[in-house]
Homo-oligomer: A and B are copies of this chain.
Amino acid sequence: PTSSQVSSVVAANSLKTDMAPLFAQEVERSRKFLALMMDAGVVVPVPKDPGGGYTHEQHKQNYTAIYQGGQLYKLTGEQKYADYVRDVLLAYAEIYPTLGEHPARKDSQGSGRLFWQVLNDAMWMVDSIQGYEAIRDSLSEVDRKNIDDNLFRKAAEFLSTGSAVTFSKIHNHATWATAGVGMTGYVLGEKELVDIALLGLDKNGETGFLRQSELLFSPDGYYTEGPYYQRFALKPFVVFAGAIENNDPARKIFEHRDGILLKALRTTIQLTYDGYFFPFNDAIRDKSLKTDELYHGVAVAYSKTRDPGLLSIAQWQGRTVLTDAGKLVANDLAAGKAKPFPFQSMLLSDGREGDQGAVAVLRNGDSTSGQALIAKNSSQGMGHGHFDKLSWQYYDNGHEIVSDYGAARFLNIEAKHGGRYLPENETWGKQTIAHNTLVVDGKSHFDGDAEAADKLAPEQLHFSDKAGSQISTAKMTGAYPGVDFTRTLALLELDGLNHPLVADVMRVNGQGSHQYDMPLHYNGHIMRVGFDLKSNVESRPVLGSDNGYQHIWVDATANPESADKAFVTWINDDRFYTSRWIPQAGSEAILAESGANDPEFNLRREQMIVQRVKAAGGSVFASVLEAHGRYDGAAERTTDSDSQIKSIQHTRDGDVDLLLIETLTGEKSVLAISYDQDETKKHNAMINGTKVNWTGFADHIRLGGGSQ
């Protein structure tokens, strides 16, 4: 080795011994990745392929290499990294001015230069400008000017004035674009670029990054498209905010709007179970906190707040970033400063004013094996929203028990419609019947009209996180003409039961005759059905012809007559679950599976129970979901594989709804709902000869009586 190689090895080694394990591992990972990229040489192909294709993937690899190469140069001083990043950027500077619309664009307006959509160009820019910043001072003036002028200035121009419609949106695509343009402004010393990034092309603040941070998150830091897109939207916010803080600290960007950016980061983490995002709306289900956006987000947030809960998130991620913030995270983690992240029950309002409904999260125990009930009472959430008003999901014991399908999409898998959303995302994923909420007359909410849906949000009427009696109530008006519905979901602790119980009271107010369907999508294998089935064993019919019904195979139908019998028990992992409901007169139960009319096998096949009622006027769906028992395969021991609930009864007393639950051991309790938002007002009502008293909108009253 030459002496300069030796000294750089020595420098690297001494650096390494200074580094905490998590950071050292990132450096090592990046070194390996750069070694591979450098081995392959500079490869900057003429753009040609759509998402998942060769040129698409190569340009993605390149911007990662530009970013990481720049950071490695900054950390190690090793010239080879600066040289490689320079050479790649020079190759881009050569090609960039020659590029027009992308050949695989979907439409002219959204076309990128390097990628099929302008969003990817913006992502390229956010990473690349950071890599360039790290090596720019080391360049010759000629190279610097070449890259400044022919690449970044041109790209900034394209992403701003050249893509004015996208740039001026209040939408995460615009956040990526403004972040890329603004950071380029700082690096090139072009105040104009910073100004239009922050304040919009007209510099009047009606669009641009600052406005986006005001309009895209609710006061609780909730992003209206849902957790999957919240994660995605977060990176440009956090990274650009970091750059603003460095270059323009007087702006106090992290204090803007009551610290909204850090709040949004924490909310993003709260919207997970076992590290995976609640998959409502157009979500890819395998997305967890282990993504680049959140590595950046956690590092930046930790460097601003020193909240030890964030360290445990970094630990779960097993990753950090190559910045000073990442180094701090790794050091403090190694110093044992981590504390559990405080996952908790919370009401996250939706809408910039917080008045467009909410997502209610009711938790018990930790976020890995405990319970999480999500009441999806938020607004439609724009184009990626689903027709799922007042739907819910439930997690327990590390698994999703009551499920949301998420998006019908195989991201970046060419064979599946080029990795784009599948047609089944429209015909199934978004439809109401694919969710755990009310379907009227076989039609989706708002008759499947997204524009109409965006205009009306549910109203969150009540939220209580009182331990053992957590309750959320919301009301939806306008999803169906002449029919509104109000749902109370509660996470209750009952004496004598080992696990919390979910209670669900859905009151439907309607005029005229309607068919009401209430689906429950669950994960597990059926153990026991409490009622007699008419099974379709030799040929399996389809439930309907549109609005998602065309995708449902009917396994069996039934007419359960009482709550004693109206239950289905299934097993998931080592725990049993029983859903029990009060069958309304003449109601039907349909046991079914998705996957009909799916000739390309685009759908996962999942199970559901549908309660179907034909009623003149309104209706009430009352049910409980119970976790019970244990199956221990290793020890060959099974306990309490059957339901521990003896009965449930529902009564309407005046305006009040009462749900009486009795366990096998005789413990009785009542979920009482007054629907009266005066939380100080006292109420009482009768059920089954017993008088119950409570205060406020709703409560859970334990009546005792158990034999244990």
Query: Taking beta carbons and an 8 Å cutoff, which residues of A are in contact with B?
Result: 52, 57, 60, 284, 286-288, 290-292, 410-416, 419, 525-529, 533, 535, 537-542, 553, 555-556, 569, 571, 593, 596-601, 604-605, 631, 633-639, 641-642
> Are A291 and B413 in contact, CB atoms less than 8 angstroms apart?
no
> Are B412 and A636 in contact, CB atoms less than 8 angstroms apart?
yes
6 A-B pairs with least C-beta separation? A286-B633, A535-B599, A526-B601, A415-B528, A412-B638, A540-B540
Give A593 to B553 CA distance when docked, in angstroms. 13
> Are A527 and B634 in contact, CB atoms less than 8 angstroms apart?
no
15 contacts between A and B (CB under 8 A): A52-B641, A60-B637, A286-B634, A291-B634, A291-B635, A292-B634, A412-B636, A413-B638, A414-B641, A416-B527, A525-B601, A529-B600, A537-B598, A540-B553, A605-B605
Query: Assuming A553-B540, A633-B286, is B601 touching A413 (CB within 8 A)?
Result: no
Partner among B57, B538, B633, B637 whose Cβ is within 8 Å of the Cβ of A637: B57
Give A288 to B636 CA distance when docked, in angstroms. 12
Q: Which of A286, A601, A642 has the most CB of B within 10 A?
A: A601
Give the distance to chain B from A43, nearest Cβ to Cβ, in Å.
15
Query: Assuming A290-B634, A527-B416, is B539 touching A639 (CB within 8 A)?
Result: no
Query: Number of copies of this chain in the oligomer?
Result: 2
- Residues of the B chain whose Cβ atoms lie less than 8 Å from the Cβ of A413: 527, 571, 631, 638, 641
Partner among B286, B597, B604 whose Cβ is within 8 Å of the Cβ of A538: B597
> Are A599 and B537 in contact, CB atoms less than 8 angstroms apart?
yes
> Are A633 and B284 in contact, CB atoms less than 8 angstroms apart?
yes
- Residues of the B chain whose Cβ atoms lie less than 8 Å from the Cβ of A593: 605
- Residues of the B chain whose Cβ atoms lie less than 8 Å from the Cβ of A634: 286-288, 290-292
- Residues of the B chain whose Cβ atoms lie less than 8 Å from the Cβ of A538: 542, 596-597
> Are B597 and A537 in contact, CB atoms less than 8 angstroms apart?
yes
Give the distance to chain B from A547, nearest Cβ to Cβ, in Å.
16
Give the distance to chain B from A60, nearest Cβ to Cβ, in Å.
7
Give the distance to chain B from A625, nearest Cβ to Cβ, in Å.
18
- Residues of the B chain whose Cβ atoms lie less than 8 Å from the Cβ of A411: 633, 636, 638
Give the distance to chain B from A619, nearest Cβ to Cβ, in Å.
28
Considering the complex, give the chain B residue whose CB is closest to the CB of A553.
Answer: B540
- Residues of the B chain whose Cβ atoms lie less than 8 Å from the Cβ of A290: 634
Give A469 to B410 CA distance when docked, in angstroms. 35
Give A529 to B525 CA distance when docked, in angstroms. 28
Query: Assuming A411-B633, A633-B284, A634-B290, is B539 touching A539 (CB within 8 A)?
Result: yes
Give A631 to B57 CA distance when docked, in angstroms. 13
> Are A415 and B527 in contact, CB atoms less than 8 angstroms apart?
yes
Give the distance to chain B from A268, nearest Cβ to Cβ, in Å.
15
Give the distance to chain B from A646, nearest Cβ to Cβ, in Å.
17
Query: Assuming A291-B634, A292-B635, is B539 touching A641 (CB within 8 A)?
Result: no
Give the distance to chain B from A423, nearest Cβ to Cβ, in Å.
13
- Residues of the B chain whose Cβ atoms lie less than 8 Å from the Cβ of A52: 638, 641
Give the distance to chain B from A320, nearest Cβ to Cβ, in Å.
14
